[in-house]
Amino acid sequence: MTREEKIGQMVQLAGEFYKEEDSENTGPMHEMNMSAEKMTTIGSVLGISGAQTLITIQKEHLAKSRLGIPLLFMADVIHGYRTIFPISLGMACTWNPDLIEESAVIAAKEAAVSGLHVTFAPMVDLVRDARWGRVMEATGEDPYLNQLYARAFVRGYQGKNLAIDTLRIAACIKHFAGYGAPVAGREYNTVELSERTLRDMYLPAYQAGIDEGSKLVMTAFNSLDGVPATANKSLMREMLRKELGFEGVLISDWASVGEMIPHGIAENLKEAGELAIEAGVDIEMMTGAYLNYLSELVDEGKVAESMIDEAVFRILTLKNELGLFENPYRGANSTEEKTIVFSSEHREKAREIAEESIVLLKNKEQVLPLTVHQKVALIVHEGQAKDVLGAWSWKGQQEESVSLYEGLLQHIPKEAIVLKTFVNGQTELDEDWLTDVDVIVAAIGESSYMSGEGASRSNIKLPSEQIQLIKELRTLNKPLVVTLFNGRPLDLTDIVQDVDSMLEAWFPGTEAGSAVANVLYGKKNPSGKLTMSFPKAVGQVPLYYNQDNTGRPLTALNQDDKYLSRYLDVDNSPLFPFGYGLSYTYFKYSPMQVTLTKSKKNQTDEVQIKLKITNSGKFAGTEVVQLYIRDKVGKVVRPIKELKRFKKVSLEPSESIVISFSLSEQDFEYVHQDFSVSVESGEFELMIGPNSEEVETNTVYLAFKRSE
């Protein structure tokens, strides 16, 4: 390969470059100083799909490329391709990694048959700040759950052998590292994170995705310890490559190489390119630093040609692993595309996952489930009835999705629904339509524009006109049910007292209305549990259950003391904690039985925990039983709770099940000040419950040897 041909492989262009009207004199090609000749060397393209389109682009590219190296097609297939699943934060509330894996299998299948090879997913960034709009793309605030989900996504997208299984696609873990912790929840902002916290809380999910074999990793936009991730040599070459053992392709985020200039660490694009290759970025997405300056940098002796070789080797390895050299069109098939994409089977799975992701936040007087004999007043925002897909639903079509009104029609006739729309809180509520209505269902929340990338909010309440609407509906003295469609934990304090029942539906995807209606009518008993805490006020944010204790903790016993770690105007606890979610039935937890045993391997203590769960209510239901620990005395301050295990169990009324958990030394280990990972013998609290707050606690002394 010539040097130009090698550099071409390291450049990723947007689909616009392949549109007929683009030329060297106008449009994106002109802006990037691209020539028709250089286009023949390009390695990958993003954000374009469709079997016929990509087959044509590939064919033309191969005809022009001297070496016949196929293009890689990549895109953001985040929670579904055309069949849209709930947003990732919603899917996380299923506490069901198998379902997440299934969603990724389907997303991969639809994407692959439409010609794609790589998805920029999963985003495995740990998140704690609900102001940040991108929490919708994350799986929440817990490192243990995030690890399970990272693995499930990667398994689902990639399968076992990408060369053979042409209906799977390569995954890309993102955004390395720490993108989920922008200061003040402001998108693209600086990240201030101690290395110990990064290692303890944030790295596990990246590591899990890499261990599962993710073929790519994407760099983050943010700076970490003062250096933008894309230029961060120690982060990429030491931590990612050497420590986490990543051997695949490292791709920059969109224009993040060029953004080193506004960051203020490169004077121009040439310097930015030098920093990126030094850091080990293999593919540059959408700025022309590599394309225009890499060769010059080698000539000037600033960049070793071996660095280019190394990057190209990894890119070609990926193409080879995808089987592109044998079959450059891979899964792309315009006939099968028609039957596979948005198939009824896929929609069925999307409905099932959406149902499991819904979280019942409140159910006073058991207003839910509704019965089919009730007359329902349905209040929806005029323009948002079909705005149910969420911000990352690239190929999803709103008009193909099921609105809540259509969902209700699957249970009750048209005559039993009074549909009222509101805009800016205005609706005609004072007519006689209300007289024979039995229950009001109000669909409120955020528009999909209000969360996702570039959608931070300093106010995470509902829009004020919606709060007003709920207050007015309350005065009507009818049972009032709220279904929330939104992409982040909201501050719901303004309405929580006014409503009888409240369902958090997130952006449920294509089958939104069917899923929510099935839950409203009890065809599906809700079982979702939050994976991000809901605050009582935005001022509490970042708010997360696995926080460290302070030297002056607020407890039930010292509420009147001022000089504690607290606020004067709101308490420290969330409105709805991590792990929280109700059911139409009730679950009784027996006291836990704890037994200590010795590990066969090294004779250190292991813990076995057993308890009985009984469905004591009237409906069949599913419960997520959660096990947390607390290390009472560590070498560094340890979180007040850490999720270590959970079990999701389904029980008929009056049915019981005995469940057991076991933990060994490794489960108690943590990152020390010198970044070593171990744990000391001592007292540990074991906590079991239906969420992170309502727990039964048992304290045990555990003797560990490994670290002593």
Between residues 120 and 405, which has the closer beta carbon with respect to ligand BGC?
120
Instruction: Give phi and psi for 485, each to the nearest 5.
Output: -115, 115
Structure tokens at 428: 């005609």
Least gap, CB of 120 to ligand BGC (angstroms): 3
Between residues 212 and 253, which has the closer beta carbon with respect to ligand BGC?
253
Residue 213, Ramachandran bin (φ over 0: left; ψ between -120 and 50: alpha; else beta): left
Least gap, CB of 451 to ligand BGC (angstroms): 14
- Is residue 215 at the binding interface for ligand BGC, with CB under 6 A as the rule? no
What string of DSSP letters covers 400-445?
GSPPHHHHHHTTS-GGGEEEEEEBTTB---SSGGGTT--EEEEEEE
Exactly one of 125, 200, 253, 491 is catalytic; name it: 253
Least gap, CB of 76 to ligand BGC (angstroms): 5
- Is residue 81 at the binding interface for ligand BGC, with CB under 6 A as the rule? no
667 has catalytic annotation: no
Least gap, CB of 134 to ligand BGC (angstroms): 8
Between residues 251 and 695, which has the closer beta carbon with respect to ligand BGC?
251
Instruction: Give phi and psi for 433, each to the nearest 5.
Output: -55, -20
Sorted by sequence, the CB contacts under 8 Å of residue 465 that are 6+ apart come out as 422, 424, 425, 426
Between residues 236 and 385, which has the closer beta carbon with respect to ligand BGC?
236
Between residues 188 and 619, which has the closer beta carbon with respect to ligand BGC?
188
Least gap, CB of 87 to ligand BGC (angstroms): 14
- Is residue 453 at the binding interface for ligand BGC, with CB under 6 A as the rule? yes
In degrees, rounded to 5, the angle at the alpha carbon of residue 489 between the alpha carbons of residues 488 and 495 is 120
Nearest to 79 by CA among 338, 333, 391, 332: 391
Between residues 15 and 526, which has the closer beta carbon with respect to ligand BGC?
15
Q: Do residues 364 and 501 lie in contact, with contact meaning Cβ atoms separated by under 8 Å?
A: yes
Nearest to 576 by CA among 613, 606, 532, 538: 532
Least gap, CB of 379 to ligand BGC (angstroms): 35
Instruction: Give phi and psi for 120, each to the nearest 5.
Output: -85, 65
- Is residue 174 at the binding interface for ligand BGC, with CB under 6 A as the rule? yes
- Is residue 120 at the binding interface for ligand BGC, with CB under 6 A as the rule? yes
- Is residue 129 at the binding interface for ligand BGC, with CB under 6 A as the rule? no
Least gap, CB of 453 to ligand BGC (angstroms): 6
Please state, as a whole number, how many other Cβ atoms lie within 10 Å of the Cβ of residue 312.
Answer: 20
- Is residue 606 at the binding interface for ligand BGC, with CB under 6 A as the rule? no
* Helix count and strand count (H, E) for the chain: 21, 26
- Is residue 76 at the binding interface for ligand BGC, with CB under 6 A as the rule? yes
- Is residue 73 at the binding interface for ligand BGC, with CB under 6 A as the rule? no
Least gap, CB of 286 to ligand BGC (angstroms): 8
Q: For residue 472, which amino acid is it?
A: E
In degrees, rounded to 5, the angle at the alpha carbon of residue 354 between the alpha carbons of residues 351 and 357 is 155
Structure tokens at 541: 């944010």
Between residues 80 and 369, which has the closer beta carbon with respect to ligand BGC?
80
Beta strands (DSSP E) in 157-197 are 172-176
> Which of 17, 18, 176, 254 lies at the binding interface for ligand BGC (CB under 6 A)?
254
Structure tokens at 34: 């691209």
Beta strands (DSSP E) in 193-291 are 216-219, 223-224, 227-228, 249-251, 284-285
> Which of 200, 253, 511, 605 lies at the binding interface for ligand BGC (CB under 6 A)?
253
Between residues 254 and 668, which has the closer beta carbon with respect to ligand BGC?
254
Count of residues touching ligand BGC (by CB under 6 A): 6
Between residues 236 and 417, which has the closer beta carbon with respect to ligand BGC?
236
The residue at minimum Cβ distance from ligand BGC is 120
Least gap, CB of 14 to ligand BGC (angstroms): 9
Structure tokens at 485: 């469609």
Instruction: Give phi and psi for 376, each to the nearest 5.
Output: -110, 130
For residue 368, give the 3-state DSSP assignment.
coil
- The residues that are catalytic are 253
Per CB under 6 A, residues contacting ligand BGC are 76, 120, 174, 253-254, 453
